[in-house]
Amino acid sequence: MANIVAIVGRPNVGKSTLFNRLTESRKAIVDDFSGVTRDRHYEVAEWIGKKFTAIDTGGFVHGSDDIFEEAIRDQVHIAIEEATVIIFMVDVTTGITDLDDEIADLLRRSSKPVYVVANKVDHAKLHHDSAEFYAFGLGEIYNVSAATGSGTGELLDAVVSHFPEEEEVEEDELPKFTIVGRPNVGKSSLTNALLGVDRNIVTPIAGTTRDSIRIHYNQFGHEFLMIDTAGLRRKSKVNEDIEFYSVMRTIKALEDSDVVILMLDANDGIEAQDINIFHLAEKNKKGVLILVNKWDTIEKDHKTAVEFKQRILDKLAPFNDVPVLFTSVTEKQRIFKTVETAMEVYQNKIRRIPTSKLNEVMLEIIAHYPPPATKGKHIKIKYITQLPGRSPMFAFFCNLPQYIKDPYKRFIENKLRENFDFAGVPIQIFFRQK
C-alpha cells in the first residue's frame, strides 16, 4: 500500500523547501553521472521506520499566473482523492491570503487527514502569529521552519500515525507487473495485446481495498498479475492529462508491483520524467524492464538498437544492469519476449544464492582484490550471507566495516552482478562487524 503525503499550498510558502528536507534530496538534484537535472517533485522518504512518498505539488504547476490558481485547485482535488495525508502549507510571514482561504475551503470538505503547517516560524516569537490559521477550521496548527527543520519532527510523527499498519506479506503470491510510462507510449495497446484473443483469461480481483486493479493473466505459459490503473484512470477522464495525477497513479501502481515495465516511445527516447520513475522504482527496490516501443517507426541499421540501448543506460548510470527490449505492439513484435523478460527480472529479484556458493565465489574475488587498507589498517572480509527479503540484500561480515568506501562497494556489487544474474534488480550491500 502506497503512503502518499502531498504538500499543497500557494506558491512561495516553502513547499519545495519542506519537500527537500523530508527527502534530503537537495544534493541529488543534479545527477553526477548523467548530467541530467532531475527535477524531482516526488521522492521516497522515511520517518521512524515508516516509508512514504512525498509529493511537492508546486513542482507540477507551470505557466502564467491566471492558470496558476486553476492548476492549484485541480491539485488539491487530486490530492484529496489520491493522497494518504495532505500537508497544507501556509506562510506565517504573510498571513492568510485569498488563495489560502480557497484551498482551505476545498480541504475542509474532504475526509482525508489534513495538517495545517505554518511555515517560516524561524523564531519562537513568531509562534503566536500562527494562531490566525485556526480560522481555517482545520484543526491544530503545526509551526515549522522548513529552512532550519525545526518543528518538522512533530509534524512527521503526526503524519505517519495515519499510515495503515504494514500488511502481512502474502506468501507464494503471483508475480506482479505494472506498465508505466508517459501518455501515448503504448501502455494500453500493450495491455490489450497481452490479453490476446482469449479474453476469458482476465480475472480482475475485485473487492480489494487497493488503489489499483489486479488482473490475473495466464499467458504464454506464465501466470502473473498485472497491476492496472488504466481502468481507474478512465473513471475520472478529466484528470487524465494532468501530470500530477498520472504521477500519483504511477506511484501507487509501482509500490504494489514486483516488476515495473517502463515503456518509452522510440521517437522520444528516455526523458527526465522516465528517469524519475526509474529512480523511484529503484528506491522502492522494484525490478525494472525497459521497453522501447514503436520500434517499427524507426529507420534503423544493425547498430541502431545497440546505440539506442547504450544511450539509455548511460542516463541511468550507475545502476544500468537493466534489460532493454525494442518492441512494436502494433506489429506484435516481442510481446512474448516482454513477458518472458519480466518473469526473468522477477526471478532475479527473488533469487536466493546458497551461502556456500556465495562464499566460494565472492571470497576468492575478494582475496584477489581486497578492500584497500585505510589508516594503515587491513580490512578482512570473512563471511558473506544473503539476507532474507523481497529483493537481494547481502551482508559482508568484516573486522572494520566503517573503513569500506563506496568504490569498493560498487566493485562488490558489479562482481555479484557478473557472477549471479540480477539484471533489472537493485542490490543492497551491507558491511557488518564480525
24: left (phi over 0), alpha (psi -120 to 50) or beta: left
**Interaction of residue 13 with ligand GDP, rule CB under 6 A:** yes
**Interaction of residue 297 with ligand GDP, rule CB under 6 A:** yes
Type of residue at 99: L
Residues 227, 257: contact at Cβ < 8 Å? yes
Q: Is 185 annotated as a binding residue?
A: yes
**Interaction of residue 344 with ligand GDP, rule CB under 6 A:** no
Type of residue at 80: I
Grid cell in block for residue 155? 509534524
**Interaction of residue 293 with ligand GDP, rule CB under 6 A:** yes
Q: CA-CA distances (angstroms) from residue 115 to 13, 149, 285?
A: 15, 17, 29
- Which range, of 32-40, 177-185, 309-317, 413-421, touches ligand GDP by CB under 6 A? 177-185
Near ligand GDP by CB under 6 A: residue from 97, 236, 267, 330: 330
* Segment 244 to 283, residues that bind ligand GDP, using CB under 6 A: none
Grid cell in block for residue 47? 520517518
Nearest CB to ligand GDP, comparing residues 69 and 314: 69
**Interaction of residue 186 with ligand GDP, rule CB under 6 A:** yes
Count the neighbouring beta carbons within 10 Å of the beta carbon of residue 46.
13
**Interaction of residue 338 with ligand GDP, rule CB under 6 A:** no
**Interaction of residue 294 with ligand GDP, rule CB under 6 A:** yes
**Interaction of residue 119 with ligand GDP, rule CB under 6 A:** yes
**Interaction of residue 243 with ligand GDP, rule CB under 6 A:** no
**Interaction of residue 15 with ligand GDP, rule CB under 6 A:** yes
Exposed, middle or buried by CB within 10 Å (0-12, 13-18, 19+), for 264? buried
CB of 333 to ligand GDP, least distance (A): 8
Near ligand GDP by CB under 6 A: residue from 5, 14, 276, 280: 14
Q: Is 15 annotated as a binding residue?
A: yes
Nearest CB to ligand GDP, comparing residues 75 and 328: 328
CB of 216 to ligand GDP, least distance (A): 21
Nearest CB to ligand GDP, comparing residues 234 and 410: 234
**Interaction of residue 147 with ligand GDP, rule CB under 6 A:** yes
**Interaction of residue 329 with ligand GDP, rule CB under 6 A:** yes
CB of 209 to ligand GDP, least distance (A): 26
Q: Is 293 annotated as a binding residue?
A: yes
339: left (phi over 0), alpha (psi -120 to 50) or beta: alpha
Near ligand GDP by CB under 6 A: residue from 257, 276, 328, 338: 328
Residues 45, 55: contact at Cβ < 8 Å? no
How many residues bind ligand GDP, per CB under 6 A?
30
Binding residues for GTP are 9-16, 56-60, 119-122, 181-188, 228-232, 293-296
Q: Which residues bind ligand GDP (CB under 6 A)?
A: 9, 11-17, 58, 119-120, 122, 145-147, 181, 183-189, 293-294, 296-297, 328-330
